[in-house]
């Protein structure tokens, strides 16, 4: 196998205009390659979303590569220096939508598996792929549904590597070994509309809730722990009033989000918010939405295998981090699998002229292959 295998497959995948939830042809391209080296291919389509479960071997332990073929929309095409779905290499960088998030990682996973199987046709345990085309969108008919199907038949993953772009300044400098939970709330405060000149005949919801809101902003929810920063509370939107200067508003709506650590639960956060609002005698209702539970993979076999592989391939001491948004790891971790995220640099994800360093592609495939070596030989 020559040294451009990962690049060649990356280019093939990048040419597919796979904007969520469309997979286009990405999973077929991957499945064909995997089938040739002995993977059992199982397409799993739910509603309008294509998913792929591929597995080589029937025994535990199961090492799973997880990722997504869908990409975010391109934005203004005229702002791109080249067609986002006609990948181009310029100055050692590979440009295209999905180059960083995360088609090059998918290519590296396939190539790593092919090389590993060629060297170890009778490897222990199983290698699996869990690929979706619904990660950047609503995430309703993607990984979460595949995991439910696997759980129903008691098919378990031991270790799962998600190919999300985790690196910051050089390949492998950061491994995500967990993610914070995300809890959203929409607070509606009731008042009574009236004329500003007759405040005694009105109830101003901005005034009645202001002390409670100030307290929510100033509360220390926890102090985090060795893996997680302290839980943060952020208000993203406040709406009240008619636009007129002489009308006291009848209601106010406040949209807020918690990014929370494993030191608190969503239920604890909810009850503390309610306690603060009740203490300030606010007339309110709240709609809650839980976007994701926090998860954490402590140092163990998977983290150690990844750190060792990164050190061997490019001499970097990887740092563990739980920063950033949510990922599909949140659906896999509750099954009991050890989960981590390791991929290319994330500096240009979701941006115009998204790109990766061509020089990082083969090392990433090597890192993935070495992780397989350590866990399945």
Known catalytic residues are 70, 135
- The token duo for 144 is 């979460």
Q: Which residue, among 42, 63, 67, 38, has the nearest Cα to 54 in the 3D structure?
A: 42
Q: Are 61 and 158 in contact (CB under 8 A)?
A: yes
- Residue 113: which of 163, 59, 170 has the closest Cα? 163
Distance between CA atoms of residues 61 and 41, nearest Å: 19
Question: Residue 175 forms beta bridges with which residues?
Answer: 320
The phi-psi region of residue 353 (left if phi > 0; otherwise alpha if psi is between -120 and 50; otherwise beta) is left
246 Cβ neighbours under 8 A, 6+ residues apart:
195, 196, 197
User: Are the CB atoms for 84 and 14 separated by under 8 Å?
Assistant: no
Transcribe 216-269 into DSSP letters: HHH-------SSSPPPEEEEEEEEES-S-SSEE-SEEEEEEEEEE-TTS-HHHH
315 CB-near residues (< 8 Å, 6+ apart): none
- How many residues are listed for the chain in this entry? 377
How far CA 141 is from CA of 47, 150, 160, 334, 336, in Å, comes to: 7, 14, 19, 17, 21
Q: Which residue has the tokens 């998977």?
A: 302
- Distance between CA atoms of residues 311 and 326, nearest Å: 27
């Amino acid at each position: 196998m020559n040294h451009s295998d990962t690049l060649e497959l990356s280019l093939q995948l990048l040419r597919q205009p796979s904007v969520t939830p469309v997979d286009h042809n990405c999973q077929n391209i991957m499945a064909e390659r995997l089938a040739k080296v002995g993977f059992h291919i199982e397409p799993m389509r739910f509603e309008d979303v294509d998913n792929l479960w591929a597995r080589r071997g029937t025994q535990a332990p199961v090492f799973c590569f997880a990722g997504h073929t869908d990409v975010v929309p391109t934005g203004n095409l005229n702002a791109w220096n080249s067609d986002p779905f006609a990948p181009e290499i310029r100055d050692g960088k590979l440009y295209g939508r999905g180059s960083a998030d995360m088609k090059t990682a998918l290519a590296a996973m396939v190539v790593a598996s092919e090389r590993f199987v060629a060297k170890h046709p009778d490897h222990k345990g199983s290698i699996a792929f869990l690929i979706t085309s619904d990660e950047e969108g609503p995430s309703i008919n993607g990984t979460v549904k595949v995991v439910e199907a696997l759980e129903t038949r008691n098919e378990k993953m031991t270790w799962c590597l998600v190919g999300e772009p985790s690196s910051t300044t050089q390949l492998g400098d950061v491994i995500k070994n967990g993610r914070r939970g995300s809890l959203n709330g929409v607070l509606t405060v009731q008042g009574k509309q009236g004329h500003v000149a007759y405040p005694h005949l009105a109830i101003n919801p901005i005034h009645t809730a202001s002390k409670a809101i100030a307290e929510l902003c100033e509360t220390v929810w926890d102090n985090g722990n060795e893996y997680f920063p302290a839980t943060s509370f952020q208000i993203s939107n406040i709406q009240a009033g008619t636009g007129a200067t002489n009308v006291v508003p009848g209601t106010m709506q406040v949209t807020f989000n918690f990014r929370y650590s494993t030191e608190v639960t969503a239920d604890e956060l909810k009850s503390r918010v309610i306690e603060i609002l009740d203490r300030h005698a606010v007339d309110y209702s709240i709609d809650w939405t839980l976007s994701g539970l926090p998860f954490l993979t402590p140092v163990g076999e998977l983290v150690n295998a990844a750190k060792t592989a990164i050190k061997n391939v490019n001499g970097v001491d990887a740092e563990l981090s739980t920063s950033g948004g949510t990922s599909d790891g949140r659906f896999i971790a509750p099954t009991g699998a050890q989960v981590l995220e390791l991929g290319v640099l994330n500096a240009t994800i979701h941006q115009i002229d998204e790109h990766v360093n061509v020089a990082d592609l083969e090392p990433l495939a090597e890192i993935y292959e070495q992780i397989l070596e350590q866990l399945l030989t």
